[in-house]
Amino acid sequence: MWIVKNRKIFYIFSGLVVLAAFASFAVWGLKFGIDFTGGSLLEVSYTQSAPSVADVTTALSSVGIPDASVRPTGQTGYILRTSFLTPDQYDAAKAALSMNGAAPFEEKEYTSIGPTIGTELKTRAVWAIALVLIVIALFIAFVFRRVSKPVSSWKYGLVVLLALAHDVVVPVGAFAILGHFFGAEVDTLFVTALLVILGFSVHDSIVVFDRVRENLKRNQEHNNAKEPFEDTVGKSVSQTIARSINTSLTVVIVLLVLFFIGPASAHYFVLTLLIGIIAGTYSSIFLGSPLLVTLEKR
Amino acid sequence: MLRVRLAAIALLLAGVGIGWFVVQSQEGQSRFAFRYGLDLAGGTHLVYQADTSKLAAADVDASMQSLRDVIERRVNIFGVSEPVVQTERGGITGGGEQRLIVELPGITNLSDAVKAIGSTPVLDFRLQEAVAGTSTVAYVPTGLTGAYLSHAALDFSSGRAGTLANQPIIDLQFNTEGAIRFKDITTQNTGKQLGIFLDGQLISSPVIQEAIPNGQATISGSFTPQEAADLVRNLNFGALPVPISLESSQSVGASLGAQALQESTVAGLWGFVFLSIFLILWYRLPGVIAVAALMIYVALSLAIFKLIPVTLTVAGLAGFILSIGMAVDANILIFERTKEELRAGKPLQEAIHEGFHRAWTSIRDSNLSSILTGVILYWLGGTAIIKGFALVFVIGVLVSMFTAVTLTRTFLISLGFGGSDSKLAHFLFGSGVSK
């Protein structure tokens, strides 16, 4: 079957994509949101005319907040990001922003995260990703425990682990690029999206492996045990590719709708999911099954 | 067959009933209306760190509870509907620090909220002890704090025993347990000085003349009448048993929240529509059944969110809409398998049966992996938003297992294509656009 036959091409392609992702990450790093770095984020919308970015920055410096990042949003709004503000500093900032009453504004949203919580969230994020990777790999090895020939069930777990690692690396690399060029931030919702991607992308692998298991059993029963494993896997992939794509397609449809007309605050969350689920579908079909064959040959 | 048909009708009616309940309970002041998180309803979320380092380990839980009660009293003065005041432990990753979470729906003025909550003074009593080998003194905490205070009142000194007249003084009345502790302290330490500390500052250090059994004490210091009045008011609102500092805060304006809610709802509806179009075009008759089951899935999930209740946030709603896309995956696996069996020449009823039977292991394992992820997400989540998302996600997966498998199967069988192998049946159960 062409996917399994040409697996070297797909390995090279995936290798390049993963390399590109690592490279982006190494060069630009991720733009961490205040969830992880700590700090304060204030979104305001001026009701009449908005002062310029320079005016805003000066006003904030004058009350002791010199390192504020001011980003315009909408027509008359700004998103300000500063280091952690105490309640008093917050009051002073608001007074400064209103230019002492000359420029009234509406406060849309304010978030302030202290350094302890920021570090804690970072630690939890790493633990959660590691735990999900391990648990799912073990789960797959357990589910396919009776398929020992010709590939032991541990290898099924290993293949899934490699595919899932790919599914984590691609969105991270994408957000290194997006962070550099568009200011896209990585926050706890990004991590949540990664975990959802991991939990979901294994579905396609389960579908194919399930079919491989069934075909192997069928070969045993019908005295066809001589069929090369490569052919069995190839057959399984071509039999299940339509449903693999369709199950991901339904999710992509709703995500696209959410992306285009959904709430703005969920924008990057949905984008992460989109990138990850597309990467996940690719990795399950074009990487997962061919890897089984490669591992069998070792 | 009749039984299956009756079951199908009963399930359909139940679905309609649940949907009606979901819509009805949004009207008026039903107690089953949706609970919205702060990013949808607007409001303020505050996280305080409580400094329990000076407490004995055994006292920590009781003090945190007392802290919670005091803050709740102060918050209630605000007149907030359904404020949430909870204690929380930072967990292993947080160094185990004690935290207090305060949620004030509808309150968007962060400054006012913080001022009112944060300005309760910390009152505690310490005994003066001579430091061994030096001529200095140190104050040793006695464990008697403002938590044991029942009442404080402003009074003016009478000028007795050589003190100045008409100076503002503060009469303290301890509660039952506080009175006992105070009696013990004064009995055992007569002749020593008892330092009265307010927010860590020594304000008065009277000598204990005698044992005081009735739990009454007086603080006199150089207060102005205004200072004394403020102090009395703050003490009465509840002196804090432990000092607190604001660790993180979030406030969302109501307009932003309302906009997010509207956009989420519209996106959800359109997502459902596009999904249905795809399902019906690709899977034809089974696709129609899948859409019907999906509608019941949405109604049932929303009803469960109302009954538990689950607090919905922007992320939670996105998660729910995502789960709608995932709920049909079981249907797809079943239908594709059914088509395969049909192509292999099996009669329709058997093909349907095999479709469900063979697809079940994949469905079960896929959903288990989602649930495992959801559980880890809930457990390690940390913030209320992530926990809420994980809860919505897991509920969605569980409900979808019911609607996509049981409901769909009942509906399909009840349609009764039975042994039919007509061209119509094959068309209706075929798929794709070209075939």
| Residue B433 reports pLDDT greater than 50 | no
| Residue matched to tokens 């919702």 | A189
Of residues B236 and A188, the one with the higher pLDDT is A188
pLDDT tens per residue, range B116-129 = 676 656 778 888 88
Look at A258 and B382 and tell me if their CB atoms are within 8 Å. Answer: no
**In chain A, which residue's Cα lies nearest the Cα of B371?**
A199
Least trusted range by pLDDT, from B119-128, B292-301, B336-345: B119-128
Q: Which of B385, B423, B399, B379 is nearest to B38 (CA)?
A: B385
In the structure, what pLDDT confidence band is assigned to residue A134 with cuts at 50, 70 and 90? very high
Q: What angle do CA B158, B159, B163 make, to 5 degrees?
A: 130
Letter for the amino acid at A32? Answer: F
Rounded Cα distance, A45 and A79, in Å: 9
Number of H helices, E strands in chain A: 11, 4
Other Cβ atoms within 10 Å of A267 Cβ, number: 15
The whole-chain average pLDDT of chain A stands at: 88
Q: Do the Cβ atoms of B390 and B316 come closer than 8 Å?
A: no
pLDDT tens per residue, range B191-226 = 788 887 776 777 777 777 777 888 888 777 667 887
CA distances from B351 to A59, B54, B337, B413 (A): 73, 71, 8, 11
Using only C-alpha atoms, chain B has a radius of gyration, in whole angstroms, of: 33
Q: Which of B251, B379, B386 is nearest to B318 (CA)?
A: B386
Burial letters B384-399, b for 16+ CB under 10 A, else e: bbbbbbbbbbbbbbeb
Rounded Cα distance, A258 and B321, in Å: 8
Other Cβ atoms within 10 Å of A219 Cβ, number: 17
- d(CA A60, nearest CA chain B) in Å: 18
Look at A131 and B108 and tell me if their CB atoms are within 8 Å. Answer: no
Residues 6 or more apart whose CB falls under 8 angstroms from that of A90 comprise: A40, A42, A110, A112, B110, B111
| Residue in A117, A198, A263 closest to B260 by CB | A263
Mutation target for B interface from A121, A139, A192, A269: give the one with most B CBs within 10 A.
Answer: A192
| Residue B394 reports pLDDT greater than 90 | yes
Least trusted range by pLDDT, from A5-14, A159-168, B252-261, B398-407: B252-261
H/E stretch holding B318 reads: helix B314-327
- d(CA A197, nearest CA chain B) in Å: 10
Distance, C-alpha A229 to centroid of its chain: 33
Rounded Cα distance, A171 and A145, in Å: 31
| Residue A6 reports pLDDT greater than 50 | yes
pLDDT tens per residue, range A249-298 = 999 999 999 999 998 888 999 999 999 999 999 999 999 888 888 888 76
H/E stretch holding A26 reads: helix A7-28
Q: Do the Cβ atoms of A144 and A153 come closer than 8 Å?
A: yes
Mutation target for B interface from A42, A111, A126, A243: give the one with most B CBs within 10 A.
Answer: A243
ipTM for the whole complex: 0.88
Rounded Cα distance, A22 and A168, in Å: 11
Strands A39-46 and A105-113: antiparallel
- Helices within A39-149 (DSSP H only): 53-62, 87-97, 115-143
Mutation target for B interface from A35, A79, A85, A124: give the one with most B CBs within 10 A.
Answer: A124
What 8-state DSSP symbol labels residue B242? Answer: S
Three-state secondary structure call for residue B175: coil
| Residue in B319, B362, B381 closest to A207 by CB | B362
- d(CA A223, nearest CA chain B) in Å: 20
